[in-house]
């Protein structure tokens, strides 16, 4: 049953991520009282950004997602005890909105502002605090910005793809996060935690961290780094990876990378179209720019979505008729909530049923999986 729940969470997560950030007014705030957790459960203090609506900061900060051509108004408030900004790294903003204290302004405790810019180019970008940048960034004040196109191409006349996969590399030094002031001067900082999207090690094997693909549906890996280290991604052949963009612009000639080096602040967009049934890892090495040593490797798990389905443990909650062409009914409950996935684990619908009857008229033919709040599941077939 655990696997089924994982499938449900995963699928709802994918459904949720298609909602664009600007449906909710994008109000960010800065905080200096957050925690992140190492794979062994140790809490590490962080500073960072969060949505005002959520009320807590996250590592990394929330993904900022816009459509190409959007006029963006990013509201930002600073209730924390020190000054902060948002620098929109790589985006074409004017000086007043660049978040660099010496050329524009910083937000002292209690300040609020609205950064404005036009998201003129599609691509992968970053944001981070630009106050005492070395320290505030390594403490966790960073996130990714995606500018995408409604036609799901990377850029005008660029390749099409099915889904964005943000992968933000970063690192931290535990000693620094435990004692930010004591870590001065900052050139002695040596990171000892290496992260992808704010987590590392076994945390990357959590179900909602695994990257699922469908054969023939290219995924856009949105690679960006705010790490101290050099990131070296090693692409297995089966991923059929092609790099199309760097630093928010198309590269002159797309190329198939065996390895890809990402220096601090750089971004790349790589399309992958993995072989069917592939289940493997994309290893990314963290190399010290101070002494050239390999400090750590974090691996991103990539798996054919179809491989998830056979792991479900089936209960005897069978509906009838099955196959169904008009409706399917589950007995035993006057009111019943059902969540349905297709055979690949994609979310189809959640409905509250009267007398346990689900209307399946006009549904595409195929195998579906119904899940119920008590954790049981049943499989049914829809035919014409």
Residues making contact with Cu ion (CB under 5 A)? 84, 129, 131, 136, 141
CB of 149 to Cu ion, least distance (A): 32
Closest to Cu ion by CB, 121 vs 136, is 136
Alpha carbon separation from 333 to 146, 356, 358 (Å, rounded): 45, 6, 13
Closest to Cu ion by CB, 129 vs 154, is 129
Closest to Cu ion by CB, 132 vs 322, is 132
Whether cis (ω within 30° of 0) applies to the bond prior to 323 is yes
Whether cis (ω within 30° of 0) applies to the bond prior to 60 is yes
Closest to Cu ion by CB, 49 vs 161, is 49
CB of 101 to Cu ion, least distance (A): 10
CB of 141 to Cu ion, least distance (A): 5
CA gap 295, 316 in Å, rounded: 50
Closest to Cu ion by CB, 59 vs 260, is 59
- Which two three-digit tokens encode residue 142? 């960073």
Triad 217, 18, 154: Cα angle to 5°: 50
CA gap 51, 76 in Å, rounded: 9
Closest to Cu ion by CB, 47 vs 155, is 47
CA gap 173, 193 in Å, rounded: 6
Closest to Cu ion by CB, 128 vs 212, is 128
Write the DSSP string, 317-346.
---BSSSBSSEEE--S-SEEEEEEEETT--
CB of 1 to Cu ion, least distance (A): 44
SS (H, E, C) 230-288: EEEEECCHHHCCEEEEECCEEEEEEECCCEEEECCCCEEEEEECCCCCCEEEEEEEEEC
Q: Which residues contact 265 (CB under 8 A, 6 or more apart)?
A: 89, 90, 126, 225, 226
Q: Token match 């996250």: residue?
A: 58
Closest to Cu ion by CB, 133 vs 153, is 133
CB of 143 to Cu ion, least distance (A): 13
CA gap 126, 22 in Å, rounded: 17
Closest to Cu ion by CB, 31 vs 218, is 31
CB of 129 to Cu ion, least distance (A): 3
| CB-nearest residue to Cu ion | 129
Q: Residue 293: is it exposed, middle or buried by C-beta count within 10 angstroms (0-12/13-18/19+)?
A: exposed
SS3 106: coil
Q: What are phi and psi of 62, to 5 degrees?
A: -55, 145
């Amino acid at each position: 049953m655990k696997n089924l729940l994982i499938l449900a969470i995963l699928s709802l997560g994918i459904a949720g991520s298609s909602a664009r950030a600007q449906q909710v007014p994008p109000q960010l705030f800065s905080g200096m009282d957050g925690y992140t957790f190492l794979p062994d459960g140790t809490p590490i203090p962080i500073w960072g950004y969060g949505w005002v609506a959520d009320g807590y900061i996250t590592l990394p900060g929330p993904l900022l997602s816009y459509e190409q051509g959007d006029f963006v108004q990013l509201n930002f408030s600073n209730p924390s005890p020190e000054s902060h900004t948002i620098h929109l790294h790589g985006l074409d903003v004017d000086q007043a909105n660049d978040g660099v204290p010496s050329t524009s302004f910083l937000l002292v405790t209690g300040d609020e502002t609205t950064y404005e810019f036009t998201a003129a180019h599609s691509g992968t970008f970053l944001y981070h605090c630009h106050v005492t940048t070395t320290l505030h960034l390594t403490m966790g004040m960073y996130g990714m910005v995606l500018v995408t196109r409604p036609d799901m191409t990377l850029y005008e006349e660029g390749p099409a793809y099915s889904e964005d996969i943000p992968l933000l590399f970063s690192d931290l030094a535990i000693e620094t996060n435990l004692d930010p002031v004591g870590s001065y001067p900052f050139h002695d900082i040596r990171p000892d935690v290496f992260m992808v999207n704010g987590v590392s090690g076994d945390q990357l094997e959590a179900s909602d961290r695994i990257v699922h693909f469908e054969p023939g549906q290219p995924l856009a890996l949105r690679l960006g780094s705010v790490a101290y280290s050099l990131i070296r991604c090693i692409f297995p052949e089966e991923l059929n990876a092609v790099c199309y963009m760097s630093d928010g612009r198309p590269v002159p000639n797309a190329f198939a990378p065996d390895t890809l080096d990402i220096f601090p602040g750089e971004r790349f967009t790589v399309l992958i179209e993995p072989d069917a049934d592939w289940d493997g890892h994309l290893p990314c090495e963290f190399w010290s720019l101070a002494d050239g040593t390999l400090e750590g490797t974090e691996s991103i798990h990539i798996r054919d979505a179809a491989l998830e389905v056979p792991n479900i443990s089936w209960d005897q909650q069978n509906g009838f008729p099955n196959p169904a062409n008009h409706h399917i009914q589950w007995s035993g409950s006057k009111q019943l909530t059902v969540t349905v996935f297709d055979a690949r684990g994609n979310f189809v619908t959640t409905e509250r049923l009267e007398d346990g009857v689900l209307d399946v008229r006009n549904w595409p033919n195929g195998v579906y999986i119904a899940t119920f709040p008590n954790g049981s599941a049943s499989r049914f077939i829809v035919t014409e």
